[in-house]
A = this chain, B = another copy of it.
């Protein structure tokens, strides 16, 4: 298990490929689920985002995410988890967060990956500050994603 908080660009596909080849035993995992969150150039009605700054709480952020990954590993019998999260200045289209999970079977990998990214969005101490031509603003809550999560949960119950 590894959690990296990083100031500066990273290639998420390369990062996960390297982590897997160095850390995941050959032939033991049947499933791997990866979530990558990237910076859109629009958000909540602002459609010309030019840059973003991501603040965090050094020390607590790492500690919090590590504990969440441990919880996921225990809860779903997952083999390993790997998280990279950017901080500092971020440009549109940059990868912000990578969550990768390996398990024997696919259901556990999906559940654990989604658990980690949801906790990370709701509880890990990061704060986004967006900038466009009109100036800068602290982002207040991941509103659209909340609605999407609820919608998805409802659809699942209805189907």
Contact = CB atoms under 8 A, between A and B. Distances in A.
A92 B27 contact: yes
A22 interface: no
Contact of A38 (B31, B92, B108, B152): B31
A37 B31 contact: yes
Interface of A: 11, 13-14, 16-17, 20, 26-42, 92-93, 104-111, 113-114, 117, 121, 144-145, 148-149, 151-152, 155-156
Contacts of A17: 11, 13-14
B148 A35 contact: no
Contacts of A149: 106-107
Contact of A105 (B13, B42, B148): B148
A37 B30 contact: yes
A109 B33 CA distance: 12
Given A106-B148, A108-B148, A27 B39 contact: yes
Nearest to A34: B34
Contacts of A36: 31-34
B14 A28 contact: no
B30 A33 contact: no
B40 A104 contact: yes
Nearest to A98: B32
B30 A32 contact: no
